[in-house]
Chains A and B, each alone.
Chain A
């Protein structure tokens, strides 16, 4: 029997690959391997609505069980892939059996970075990537009063904003000199800082947590690099992720902070592809090698891969986009903007509705929008087209991204 496509990991990328394959007419076997006991689920709500509402877990599942069956996708729960035997084109599972593949898809995702400071292993120091961790966090939020979030990136700030809305006293510690420094412009960092501060969240920048101590009552004290000490009932650590590359490395595939793939998402072995958070790929807009951690990237790569595996290979060139939902701050990013050397603001910060257009050497590379979805959607259209937008054009009186995108 043919092994068909075997997919390692049933996160956003793995599940999308399976369904997109069927949509594209793939007729052989599809096996999707998931290392948890629950049905595969989406992660974005875990730092947002799931913490606030008594949302049941079913509302997070990508698909109901019978939909996998209807699409003849064989979903293995509580199963892990331990090893890839490339010469024989099969994989070894934790439960002992072997599975043959015609094509193997690595959709292994990423794992949270840990803090390596004393006290990081205490049970009140929480992590957030998996559903069970979100349930623990939700319970902690319901029972505790003071939260310290270590890490001022998207996820840390989303949890901080949610906890603040729930009435907890919230402090955020960020090691860099501004929030979300890896992903947004200083303008957005500054604006988001002012909004969260106005809502009562205490933000410490340039603050490294150096030590966590627990007293007899279970209260935590966090020491930070400035010498200050802060107390909390519990802590959320959100200090970035690293790609799950071990399986690929042990199989001798090329990796470099991610599983290396070409523009068709093929690894150094033509019978193995990688998609989503674990893949490092050539960026269509400037050919640098990048790795993205976003739903859009996982979903678009999965679709592109399904096309390749059904005989329609096209290079991966989707426009990246991101969102972050931090209480009243709805942040949307079109394109990749960290290399911006020039920005232009449309709208005004006071109104809480504006966009930062980003340029690199005079070339439009993307837009970071606050509560301005029309600007965001227009920017995606502009980036996907071949039109060039100059800083001078964007600076003209009456310029709007929407009008420009529709060619006016």
Chain B
């Protein structure tokens, strides 16, 4: 289990214990956080799991592949340097304590 902090667009913080191997998208949705939708179930096909990753953790994440890169260009909320698809981020001890902010809208 690692700790992930999700910050909603209004600033509300929620800490979630996530099993290693689970995606940050799934953990958010399964715990009923409204800021992430995850419609495609994690196939990098819908861009409704967009998050901004705290910069301190950015370089501990796997690189962005071509599909994710293109999907990130099509997110409903603005893309920033720290944008990622949370379905492509797996919980691991490497990123214990990671903080991700959820955008205003996913659709």
- Stretch among B2-10, B42-50, B51-59, B96-104 lining the A interface: B42-50
> Is A371 part of the contact surface with B, judged by Cβ < 8 Å?
yes
Is the CB–CB distance between A67 and B31 below 8 Å? Answer: yes
- Stretch among A44-52, A161-169, A206-214 lining the B interface: A44-52
> Is B105 part of the contact surface with A, judged by Cβ < 8 Å?
no
When the two chains form the complex, which single residue of A44, A63, A71, A377 contacts B40, counting CB atoms closer than 8 Å? A44
Q: Which residue of B lies closest to A330 (CB)?
A: B67
> Is B32 part of the contact surface with A, judged by Cβ < 8 Å?
yes
> Is A72 part of the contact surface with B, judged by Cβ < 8 Å?
no
Contact A373 B41, CB 8 Å, known A62-B30, A67-B30, A67-B32: no
Is the CB–CB distance between B26 and A299 below 8 Å? Answer: no
Mask, A10-47, CB within 8 Å of B = 1, is 00000000010001000000000000000000101100
> Is B73 part of the contact surface with A, judged by Cβ < 8 Å?
yes
Q: Which residue of A lies closest to B74 (CB)?
A: A377
Q: Which residue of B lies closest to A303 (CB)?
A: B107
> Is B61 part of the contact surface with A, judged by Cβ < 8 Å?
no
| Interface size of B in residues (CB-CB distance below 8 Å) | 25
> Is A332 part of the contact surface with B, judged by Cβ < 8 Å?
yes
Q: From residue 123 to 142 of chain A, which have CB atoms closer than 8 A to chain B?
A: none
Residue numbers in B under 8 Å from A74 (CB-CB): none
> Is B19 part of the contact surface with A, judged by Cβ < 8 Å?
yes
When the two chains form the complex, which single residue of A23, A42, A59, A299 contacts B22, counting CB atoms closer than 8 Å? A59
When the two chains form the complex, which single residue of A23, A63, A373 contacts B45, counting CB atoms closer than 8 Å? A373
> Is A241 part of the contact surface with B, judged by Cβ < 8 Å?
no
> Is A217 part of the contact surface with B, judged by Cβ < 8 Å?
no
How far is it, in angstroms, between the C-alpha of A330 and the C-alpha of B71 when the chains are bound? 12
Residue numbers in B under 8 Å from A42 (CB-CB): 41
Is the CB–CB distance between B31 and A64 below 8 Å? Answer: yes
> Is B29 part of the contact surface with A, judged by Cβ < 8 Å?
yes
How far is it, in angstroms, between the C-alpha of A70 and the C-alpha of B22 when the chains are bound? 22
How far is it, in angstroms, between the C-alpha of A44 and the C-alpha of B21 when the chains are bound? 18
Is the CB–CB distance between B30 and A44 below 8 Å? Answer: no
Is the CB–CB distance between A374 and B32 below 8 Å? Answer: no
Question: From residue A272, how far is it (CB to closest CB) to chain B in Å?
Answer: 26
When the two chains form the complex, which single residue of B30, B39, B66, B73 contacts A64, counting CB atoms closer than 8 Å? B30
How far is it, in angstroms, between the C-alpha of A130 and the C-alpha of B32 when the chains are bound? 23
Is the CB–CB distance between B70 and A374 below 8 Å? Answer: yes
> Is A403 part of the contact surface with B, judged by Cβ < 8 Å?
no
Q: From residue 57 to 94 of chain B, which have CB atoms closer than 8 A to chain A?
A: 66-67, 70-71, 73-74
How far is it, in angstroms, between the C-alpha of A373 and the C-alpha of B75 when the chains are bound? 11
Residue numbers in B under 8 Å from A94 (CB-CB): none
Is the CB–CB distance between A377 and B71 below 8 Å? Answer: yes
Residue numbers in A under 8 Å from B43 (CB-CB): 44, 48, 323, 325, 330
Is the CB–CB distance between A295 and B22 below 8 Å? Answer: no
Most chain A CB inside 10 Å of its own CB: which residue of B23, B31, B43: B43
> Is A61 part of the contact surface with B, judged by Cβ < 8 Å?
yes
> Is A296 part of the contact surface with B, judged by Cβ < 8 Å?
yes
Is the CB–CB distance between B40 and A70 below 8 Å? Answer: no
How far is it, in angstroms, between the C-alpha of A67 and the C-alpha of B39 when the chains are bound? 18
Residues in chain B within 8 A of chain A (CB atoms) = 19, 21-23, 26, 29-32, 34, 39-47, 66-67, 70-71, 73-74
Interchain residue pairs A-B with the least CB separation, the first 6 = A377-B74, A67-B32, A323-B45, A373-B70, A44-B41, A374-B70
30 contacts between A and B (CB under 8 A): A23-B34, A44-B43, A45-B41, A45-B42, A58-B19, A58-B22, A59-B19, A59-B21, A59-B22, A59-B26, A63-B29, A63-B30, A64-B31, A67-B30, A71-B32, A295-B41, A296-B39, A299-B39, A323-B40, A323-B46, A330-B44, A332-B45, A372-B70, A373-B44, A373-B45, A373-B67, A373-B70, A374-B70, A374-B74, A377-B47
